[in-house]
């Protein structure tokens, strides 16, 4: 710190002996201090303190009317609790006890009379320096405090903005889900009609060219119906509108029902559909529609992504859950895609160059359904070597035929 800053400090001297005051003033004057005031009447300290706002007080202890301890006691009420105000006590007969008392009353340092002026000068400067550093610290604290306050206000504002945006996004999502559900429903009804009539025409028409046209209408209609069903499933799941109807289902017959749906497609590709069971007559307590939807998506994918070999469903009872494995000998999935394929709309081959038809919704819906039934789904697969999708559903089964 620069000395000139000290020299502008306000110094208040209180001593009942004018001669002591004169010596101290002489010292201050010699050192270059310009703002010093004094009094021999200790009763004047409080009003002088208020008016003069000293940076340091040089205080005698033994004085008539009010001694130094009493003065310090009164000043304490004027100084803010955490503020630093240096008091240099100047006294002739300071013993250990009065030193302790003075410290307790607020003194910062002592010096005994007669003064060694070099010492007095140094103590004053040291105390002023501490005061200056304290003030610097206070200022820094204030700056930090202000910065923290401003940042908190900013954070609160962006928090508020974020939650408003989140609410808006949720509302938009809800609207989207409702829209999808309504549209799928509205579209499904006419498509069922179109497919029904196309199927009739296919059976009735003799002309081969017209028959093929009817066949194509039926195929396109069926594909559209599958897509709509997926969208409807997804929107129902997202809107939490799905209410499960839990009852006992026989897994062997569920697999047959699912296989029947894919028999023609598998046959055309020369694929065999196989099923194995760890136990005979396994019954599972679950929602049949959801279970069929899970099988549908997994077996459908297995058939779609396999050129030769087989698609197998293996059902086995474990200690506290049932495991359904759908295995194929198809194109396989490289490791980097194992998690991604369960996300909405994600496919291994994406974009306009994709090699397979599909919406990228089947596995996402399957995962959501499995999880809603308190189960889990995972995939084991290697590129070019086929895939196995493993579904685990909670063990709520009993066996028809005990082993
Ligand atoms: P989609 O079949 O309609 O594209 P899915 O969500 O059912 O959508 O599957 C996402 C992607 O996961 C598929 O596009 C495909 O890339 C990959 N996939 C799923 N099942 C298999 C499988 N059995 N063999 C190879 N790839 C698969």
C-beta pairs of 136-140 under 8 Å, 24+ apart in sequence: none
Q: Measured between alpha carbons, how far is 269 from 282 in angstroms, rounded to an integer?
A: 30
Which pair of structure tokens corresponds to residue 148? Answer: 């923290």
Which pair of structure tokens corresponds to residue 293? Answer: 């939807």
- How far away, in angstroms, is 112 Cα from ligand 1 center? 93
Where is 366: in which H helix or E strand? helix 362-372
Q: Measured between alpha carbons, how far is 365 from 165 in angstroms, rounded to an integer?
A: 27
Rounded to the nearest integer, the mean pLDDT of the chain is 89
Q: What is the pLDDT of residue 396?
A: 62
91 has which bridge partners? Answer: 112
Q: Is the pLDDT score of 126 beyond 90? A: yes
Q: Measured between alpha carbons, how far is 21 from 6 in angstroms, rounded to an integer?
A: 20
User: Which stretches of 205-250 are DSSP H helices?
Assistant: 208-238
Instruction: Give pLDDT tens digits for 80-95.
Output: 888 899 999 998 877 8
Query: Which is nearest to 188 in space by CA: 226, 156, 237?
Result: 226
Indicate the pLDDT class of residue 398, thresholds 50, 70 and 90.
very low
- How far away, in angstroms, is 277 Cα from ligand 1 center? 25
Indicate the pLDDT class of residue 189, thresholds 50, 70 and 90.
confident
Q: Is the pLDDT score of 117 beyond 70? A: yes
- How far away, in angstroms, is 236 Cα from ligand 1 center? 21
Instruction: Identify whether 114 is preceded by a cis peptide bond (ω within 30 of 0).
Output: yes
Q: Measured between alpha carbons, how far is 332 from 329 in angstroms, rounded to an integer?
A: 8
Q: Give the sign of the dihedral formed by CA 353, CA 355, CA 356, CA 357.
A: positive
Q: Which residues line ligand 1 (CB under 6 A)?
A: 297, 301-302, 305, 328, 330-331, 333, 341, 347-348, 358-364, 387
Instruction: Give pLDDT tens digits for 140-171.
Output: 999 999 999 999 999 999 999 999 999 999 89
Q: Please give the number of the atom of ligand 1 that sits closest to the Cα of 230.
A: 3
Q: Give exposure, 147-166, as e/b (b: 16+ Cβ within 10 Å).
A: eeeeeeeeeeeeeeeeeeee
Residue with CA nearest ligand 1 atom 14: 347
> CA-based angle 237:340:234, to the nearest 5?
15
What percentage of the chain has pLDDT greater than the value 90? 65
Q: Please give the number of the atom of ligand 1 that sits closest to the Cα of 389.
A: 23
Which pair of structure tokens corresponds to residue 106? Answer: 């607020």
Q: Is the pLDDT score of 295 beyond 80? A: yes
Q: Are 43 and 113 in contact (CB under 8 A)?
A: no
Q: Are 66 and 116 in contact (CB under 8 A)?
A: no
- How far away, in angstroms, is 327 Cα from ligand 1 center? 13
pTM above 0.85, yes or no: no
282 has which bridge partners? Answer: 399
User: Which stretches of 55-116 are DSSP H helices?
Assistant: 68-76, 96-105
- Residue 33 exposure: Cα atoms within 13 Å on the Cβ side: 22
Least confident of 16-30, 35-49, 97-111: 97-111
Q: Are 94 and 65 in contact (CB under 8 A)?
A: no
Where is 388: in which H helix or E strand? strand 387-394
- Residue 282 exposure: Cα atoms within 13 Å on the Cβ side: 22
Residues, the chain:
403
Q: Please give the number of the atom of ligand 1 that sits closest to the Cα of 342.
A: 6
Beta strand extents in 95-234 (DSSP E only): 109-112
Query: Which is nearest to 396 in space by CA: 315, 286, 293, 313?
Result: 286
- How far away, in angstroms, is 346 Cα from ligand 1 center? 8
Q: Measured between alpha carbons, how far is 393 from 283 in angstroms, rounded to an integer?
A: 12
Instruction: Give pLDDT tens digits for 339-386.
Output: 999 988 777 766 555 667 777 889 999 999 999 988 999 999 999 999
C-beta pairs of 182-189 under 8 Å, 24+ apart in sequence: 184/228, 184/229, 184/231, 184/232, 184/235, 185/232, 187/224, 187/228, 188/225, 188/228, 188/229, 188/232
Q: What is the pLDDT of residue 397?
A: 39
Which of 265, 294, 301 is the pocket-test mutation for ligand 1 (most atoms within 8 Å of CB)? 301
Q: What is the pLDDT of residue 352?
A: 53
Q: How many CB atoms lie within 10 A of CB 313?
A: 23
Q: Please give the number of the atom of ligand 1 that sits closest to the Cα of 364.
A: 6
Strand, helix or coil at 63?
coil
Q: Is the pLDDT score of 177 beyond 80? A: no
- How far away, in angstroms, is 360 Cα from ligand 1 center? 7
Query: Which is nearest to 365 in space by CA: 303, 307, 289, 305?
Result: 289
Please measure the distance between the N-terminal and C-terminal CA atoms of the chain and give it in whole angstroms. 94
- How far away, in angstroms, is 176 Cα from ligand 1 center? 25
Which pair of structure tokens corresponds to residue 308? Answer: 């030769």
Instruction: Give pLDDT tens digits for 55-80.
Output: 999 999 999 999 999 999 999 999 88
Q: What is the pLDDT of residue 112?
A: 86
Query: Which is nearest to 185 in space by CA: 245, 223, 233?
Result: 233
């Amino acid at each position: 710190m620069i000395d000139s800053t000290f020299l502008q400090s306000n110094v208040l001297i209180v001593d009942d002996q004018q001669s002591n005051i004169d010596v101290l003033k002489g010292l201050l004057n010699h050192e270059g201090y310009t703002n010093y005031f004094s009094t021999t009447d200790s009763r004047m300290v409080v009003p002088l303190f208020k008016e003069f706002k000293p940076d340091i007080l040089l205080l005698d202890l033994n004085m008539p009317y009010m001694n130094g301890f009493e003065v310090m006691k009164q000043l304490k009420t004027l100084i803010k609790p955490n503020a630093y105000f240096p008091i240099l006590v100047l006294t002739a007969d300071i013993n250990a006890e009065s030193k302790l008392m003075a410290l307790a009353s607020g003194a910062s340092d002592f010096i005994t009379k007669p003064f060694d002026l070099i010492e007095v000068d140094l103590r004053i400067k040291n105390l002023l320096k501490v005061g200056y550093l304290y003030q610097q610290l206070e200022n820094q604290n204030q700056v930090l405090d202000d910065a923290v306050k401003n940042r908190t206000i900013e954070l609160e504002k962006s928090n508020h903005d974020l939650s408003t945006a989140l609410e808006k996004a949720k509302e938009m999502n809800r609207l989207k889900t409702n829209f999808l559900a309504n549209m799928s429903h509205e579209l499904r009804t006419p498509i069922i009609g179109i497919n029904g009539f196309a199927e009739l025409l296919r059976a009735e028409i003799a002309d081969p060219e017209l028959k093929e046209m009817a066949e194509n209408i039926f195929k396109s209609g069926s594909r559209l119906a599958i897509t709509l069903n997926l969208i409807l499933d997804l929107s129902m799941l997202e809107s939490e509108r799905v209410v499960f109807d839990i009852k006992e289902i026989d897994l062997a017959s569920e697999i047959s029902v699912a296989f029947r749906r894919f028999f023609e497609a598998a046959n055309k590709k020369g694929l065999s559909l196989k099923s194995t069971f760890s136990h005979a007559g396994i019954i599972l307590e679950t929602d049949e529609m959801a279970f069929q939807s899970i099988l549908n998506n997994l077996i459908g994918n297995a058939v779609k992504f396999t050129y030769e070999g087989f698609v197998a469903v293996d059902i086995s009872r474990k200690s506290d859950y049932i495991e359904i494995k759908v295995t194929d000998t198809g194109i396989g999935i490289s490791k980097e895609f194992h998690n991604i394929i369960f996300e909405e709309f994600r496919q291994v081959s994406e974009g306009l160059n994709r090699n397979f038809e599909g919406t990228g919704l089947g596995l996402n819906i399957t995962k959501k359904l499995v999880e809603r039934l308190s189960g889990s789904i995972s995939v084991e697969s290697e590129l070019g070597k086929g895939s196995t999708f493993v579904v685990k559903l909670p063990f709520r089964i009993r066996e028809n035929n005990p082993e």
